[in-house]
Amino acid sequence: MNTLVAAFEEAYGRAPQGVWRAPGRVNLIGEHTDYNDGLVLPFALAQGVSVAAARRDDGVLELRSLQAAADGRSLPIDGLAPGTVDGWAAYPAGVAWVLREHGAGGASLLVDSDLPQGAGLASSAALECATALALCDLYGLEIERAELARRARRAEAEFAGVPCGIMDQSAALLCTAGHALLLDCRSGLSGQVPLRLGEDLSLLVVDTRAAHALTGGEYARRRAECEQAAALLGLDSLRDVTDLASTLERLPAVQSRPSLPFRRRSGQTGPDPATLRRRVQHVVTENHRVEATVGLLRADALAEIGGMLTASHLSLRDQFEVSWPQADATVEAALRAGARGGRMVGGGFGGSVLVLTATDRATHVREAIDAAYQARGWPAPHYQDAVPSQGAHRIL
């Protein structure tokens, strides 16, 4: 933090009025459920984004980042509009844009991050939420955290043009140390679920180093498919599915084709029925897995959730089709080496994998994953131990 304060003084010629920090997240389980009004269970990482900031009264938002030293911006608050700012700056600028109507004005910001970008650990949400807390404090805005998460999500979706759900911003703002956050994305209600690892169990975050970006069209396509399935079923959202088997029967009959990766036949305008059935199957069973996982955690049976994690991964791989080769190889190698379970986390198509393992097997698990990457000629993955940490807060 001292480096950040010194860098702020050098950049702006005065001291910051404060420093705010928001964490990245790992989603324990409940993937691609948030935009289906479903359940998610993320926890905050110790790694995150810090923002040093001072108020300016000339209506200018100055943005600099220690990770993008050559890419500073100076933006008039009045001129902020969706689509006008590109790159990393779109996220803090989007937050200033959503908070403008509440009275937030100009500020000088300097960003620092120890979260890898593109690792699927919600670095954009962390940047948005640290900025949001900074602007709220600088301008005396009192917005409760669940509402602030909704505003930060709007910044990302409407200003930066990334069609995300509400999970990542909620995790950054609402998580508490030693817990996962159970969030019902339909009601907005949330609760804390104990996630204490103790000495015997470790949660390993494996950055597969296949970069992930939500701006690619596949995430938006999955959303559209889920919406289309719900519309065909006459439901508001897939959360309303009560009986999976009969629901799948109600979707138009499966045509004779293998249920392999998404592909449109020429001339076809939308996803075929088999694809929609797979999407529905994932979302509905994933909500059940969240409930089952919460049950185990509340019964103090963390060691038993491994099967849920692996089942989630297989569903994301085979039904939702958002996994990627490094993620599959990581889960496979980890399980072979005796891990209790593992799954890809986040939007997919790159990013990180979460592995639950007995601590005394962790080294063996890592070696097995390394060997799998080496055998395929992939760059070695990066590892970190996940420690369920506190949500966004002021650190200075």
Site residues, ligand GAF (CB under 6 A): 31-32, 34-35, 122, 164-165, 167-168, 214, 346-347
- Cβ proximity to ligand GAF: between 23 and 346 the closer is 346
Smallest gap, in angstroms, from Cβ of residue 106 to ligand GAF? 28
Least spacing, CB of residue 165 vs ligand GAF, in Å: 3
Q: For this structure, is 114 an active site residue?
A: no
Range list of H helices, the chain: 2-12, 90-100, 123-138, 145-154, 167-174, 217-232, 244-250, 273-298, 306-318, 325-336, 362-376
Tokens of 239: 């959360």
* Residue whose CB is less far from ligand GAF, 34 or 328: 34
Q: What is the distance between the alpha carbons of residues 362 and 75, in angstroms, rounded to a whole number?
A: 47
**Which of residues 92 and 346 has its CB atom nearest to ligand GAF in the complex?**
346
- Do 330 and 313 meet the contact criterion of CB atoms below 8 Å apart? no
Distance CA 6, CA 360 (A): 41
Decide whether 12 or 35 has the Cβ nearer to ligand GAF: 35
* Least CB distance to ligand GAF at residue 70 (A): 27
Q: Cβ-count burial of 192 within 10 angstroms (0-12 exposed, 13-18 middle, 19+ buried)? A: middle
Q: Using the minimum distance from each CB to ligand GAF, give the nearer residue, 35 or 373.
A: 35
Distance of alpha carbon 244 from alpha carbon 265, whole angstroms: 27
Report how far apart, in Å, the C-alpha atoms of 57 and of each of 16, 87, 143 are.
14, 25, 21
Q: For tokens 């948005």, name the residue.
A: 128
Smallest gap from residue 168 Cβ to ligand GAF (A) = 5
CB of 137 to ligand GAF, least distance (A): 25
How far is residue 103's CA from residue 135's CA, in Å, rounded to a whole number?
A: 10
Catalytic residue among 34, 37, 112, 168: 168
Q: Which residues are catalytic?
A: 168
